[in-house]
């Protein structure tokens, strides 16, 4: 397997296909780089170099006891980008990965970054607090932790349904998508995934978003049951200096799978712009 070594010695697995302008993908929780297979296959055929890593504690990357936090995730991404000496990168993040993209720019700047894409992403701040009253209460994230710790396998199978909107009336359910979600989730380590819940829910990305001074495409479906659009993309689009917001009517959280062709077309258009 192809890996880069993070500053604490953790091995970070990544896939690197094609040549041309680089596009780096960051996946959502509790998945892996494989969540981007459709986009990577498409864009590599369009002449782009596509790279995606498994976040520490997830997939084929190392499972350290420490470092399962957003700062370290961003530093791991930086280690990969620097090891590959990537320049003029477009960063694409989905869900938790969108937080990782924002925190990377917040900590490491835009020197190597040309553009960014946030898809169904967790910024600016998922957790309800005194100054963020419309966000999700702690009970929501405690429920995720309870599901993880009691029966992770069954929990992931159940979570796939709202993730892809398969629980909606007349939804076209893909058993393959459910199986892939479960398989990717079970490939990771329970400790890293458990601690990642705190990272994606309690991190405030507001200041990171303000530093995203490069052209940024923000995409989300208005039927996202995992990361409600009202506390996520609608707010982020008002903070990011050069944001373009695209709302997909009726689309779920996992729209990179359910609406892959539309996502691919919008990504290609943005990359060419």
Residue for token pair 């997939």:
59
- Active-site pick, 95, 180, 233, 236: 95
Residue 25 and residue 52 in contact, taking contact as beta carbons nearer than 8 Å:
yes
Which is catalytic among the residues 75, 224, 233, 236?
A: 224
Nearest Cα to Cα of residue 219 among 237, 207, 242: 237
pLDDT in tens, the chain (273 residues): 899 999 999 999 999 999 999 999 999 999 999 999 999 999 999 999 999 999 999 999 999 999 999 999 999 999 999 999 999 999 999 999 999 999 999 999 999 999 999 999 999 999 999 999 999 999 999 999 999 999 999 999 999 999 999 999 999 999 999 999 999 999 999 999 999 999 999 999 999 999 999 999 999 999 999 999 999 999 999 999 999 999 999 999 999 999 999 999 999 999 999
pTM over 0.95: yes
pLDDT, residue 204, reads: 97
Sheet hosting strand 22-26, strand order edge to edge: 3-5, 11-17, 49-53, 22-26, 89-94, 113-119, 216-221, 243-248
Going along the chain from its start, the domains and CATH numbers come out as: 3-272 (3.40.50.1820)
Position 1 scores a pLDDT of: 83
CA dist 70 and 84 (Å) reads 21
Q: How far apart are the first and last CA of the chain?
A: 34
Active site residue 180: no
What is the bridge-based pairing of β-strands 49-53 and 11-17? antiparallel
- 125 is a catalytic site residue: no
Q: Are the CB atoms for 88 and 115 separated by under 8 Å?
A: no
Do residues 201 and 125 lie in contact, with contact meaning Cβ atoms separated by under 8 Å?
Answer: no
95 is catalytic: yes
φ, ψ at 201 (rounded to 5°): -95, -35
Do 226 and 31 meet the contact criterion of CB atoms below 8 Å apart?
no
The Cα–Cα gap between 216 and 102 comes to 11
Q: Which member of 27, 53, 94, 253 is catalytic?
A: 253
CB 99 within 8 A of CB 123: yes
Query: What DSSP letter does each residue of 86-124 carry, written as one string?
Result: --SEEEEEETHHHHHHHHHHHHH-STTEEEEEEES---S
Cα separations (Å) of 207 from 75, 87, 105, 211, 261?
17, 24, 10, 7, 33
* DSSP-assigned beta bridge partners for residue 269: none
Mean pLDDT of the chain: 97
Please report the pLDDT score of residue 123 as a whole number. Answer: 98
* Helical residues (DSSP H) of 1-53, grouped into ranges: 37-45
Those residues whose C-beta lies under 8 Å from the C-beta of residue 149, and which sit 6 or more positions away, are 190, 194
The token duo for 269 is 């258009």
CA–CA gap between residue 273 and residue 270 (Å, rounded): 5
């Amino acid at each position: 397997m192809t890996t880069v070594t993070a500053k604490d010695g953790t091995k970070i697995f990544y896939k690197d296909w094609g040549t041309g302008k680089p596009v780096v993908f960051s996946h959502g929780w509790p998945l892996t780089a494989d969540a981007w297979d459709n986009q990577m296959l498409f864009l590599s055929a369009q002449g782009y170099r596509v790279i995606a890593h498994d976040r520490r504690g997830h997939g084929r990357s190392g499972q350290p006891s420490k470092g399962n936090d957003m700062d370290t995730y961003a530093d791991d991404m930086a280690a990969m980008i620097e090891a590959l000496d990537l320049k003029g990168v477009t960063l694409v993040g989905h869900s938790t990965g969108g937080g990782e993209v924002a925190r990377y720019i917040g900590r490491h700047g835009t020197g190597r970054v040309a553009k960014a894409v946030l898809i169904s992403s967790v910024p600016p701040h998922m957790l309800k607090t005194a100054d963020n009253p419309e966000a999700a209460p702690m009970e929501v994230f405690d429920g995720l932790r309870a599901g993880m710790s009691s029966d992770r396998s069954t929990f992931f199978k159940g979570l796939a349904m709202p993730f892809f909107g398969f629980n909606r009336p007349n939804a076209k359910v893909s058993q393959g998508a459910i199986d892939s979600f479960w398989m990717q989730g079970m490939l990771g380590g329970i400790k890293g995934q458990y601690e990642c819940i705190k990272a994606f829910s309690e991190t405030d990305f507001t200041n990171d978003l303000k530093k995203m001074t490069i052209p940024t495409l923000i995409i989300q479906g208005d039927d996202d049951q995992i990361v409600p659009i009202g506390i996520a993309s609608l707010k982020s689009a008002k903070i990011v200096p050069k944001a373009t917001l695209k709302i997909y009517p009726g689309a779920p959280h996992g729209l990179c799978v359910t609406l892959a062709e539309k996502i691919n077309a919008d990504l290609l258009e943005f990359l060419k712009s």
